[in-house]
Amino acid sequence: MPNLSVKGLLESLDHLSRNIGKWWYHSNLTRHAAEALLLSNGCDGSYLLRDSNERIGLYSLSVRAKDSVKHFHVEYTGYSFKFGFNEFSSLKDFVKHFANQPLIGSETGTLIVLKHPYPREVEEPSIYESVRVHTAMQTGRTEDDLVPTAPSLGTKEGYLTKQGGLVKTWKTRWFTLHRNELKYFKDQMSPEPIRILDLTECSAVQFDYSQERVNCFCLVFPFRTFYLCAKTGVEADEWIKILRWKLSQIRKQLDQREGTIRSRSFIFK
């Protein structure tokens, strides 16, 4: 990245905000909020641009796929915009590229057509409910008990080759990861999953070398170990990374709940 002054970058970013902000630039929208927004109200091919929290001049393009949200880097150098294999010398050319509905794909092999820019401003009715009942369901609690919690979305989808449970043959299945559920389908177009795996029951995710297959990893459950293979090492690493992250979040939430229970039991002893 060229050695530009922070002032120059901020002026350029302000120009970006004023020119596409009214359309689909969501500035400081978080990754979690972007996923929640696109999953709940977007459709296949919906997308938005937001600031990356890594550094100034780096953006994230969040894109809704069939059952997940994917994130891609967009870099502004101060002179041009870099996205994918392309570089655009002006903001006008960058926006025009999206107007022509680009087709993009990642390591999963999933292709997405960017068709629907998600607007930053969406009109909603100004309707409020009147409070008719208002009471407390607990007593004796303080602000320390008011701990905001929400499960991370952390979505991912793609084809993986899975070993059968009884018959040890390998078949390609479509996998989707959403919240704490890993589902697999016969193929991408199947409406109902073959099985849903609850990751709160999973004890480990790790690379596997016992099956004499490359790019293989396994998920360890009390009732069975699932063996999966990706097409590339990069894709296998991405699956392992996000699944391990999911398990760490699950354990963190369990530790928080246990800590809250212990503190309450200490108070009432």
CB 143 within 8 A of CB 171: no
* Mean pLDDT value of segment 9-29: 69
Q: What percentage of the chain has pLDDT greater than the value 70?
A: 86
Q: Render pLDDT for 115-171 as a digit per residue (tens, 0 to 9).
A: 999 998 888 888 888 888 888 888 888 887 777 777 777 889 999 999 998 888 999
Q: Render pLDDT for 212-230 as a digit per residue (tens, 0 to 9).
A: 889 999 999 999 999 999 9
Asked if pLDDT for residue 264 goes beyond 60, the answer is no
Q: 2: pLDDT confidence band, cut at 50, 70 and 90?
A: very low
Rounded to 5°, angle at Cα 18 from 17 and 20 = 65
Q: 3: pLDDT confidence band, cut at 50, 70 and 90?
A: very low
5 or 78, higher pLDDT: 78
pLDDT of res. 117: 94
Burial label, 142 (beta-carbon count in 10 A; 0-12, 13-18, 19+): exposed
How far is CA 92 from each of CA 20, 81, 152, rounded to the nearest angstrom?
A: 10, 10, 35
Cβ-based neighbours of 265, under 8 Å, separated by 6 or more: none
Q: 1: pLDDT confidence band, cut at 50, 70 and 90?
A: very low
Nearest of 246, 225, 108, 105 to residue 178 by alpha carbon: 246
pLDDT of res. 260: 57
* Mean pLDDT value of segment 233-246: 92
Question: Whole-angstrom distance between the N-terminal and C-terminal Cα of the chain?
Answer: 60
Whether pTM exceeds 0.75: no
Q: What is the mean pLDDT of the chain?
A: 85
> Max Cα separation, the chain?
68
CB 70 within 8 A of CB 35: no
Q: How far is CA 139 from the centre of its chain?
A: 38
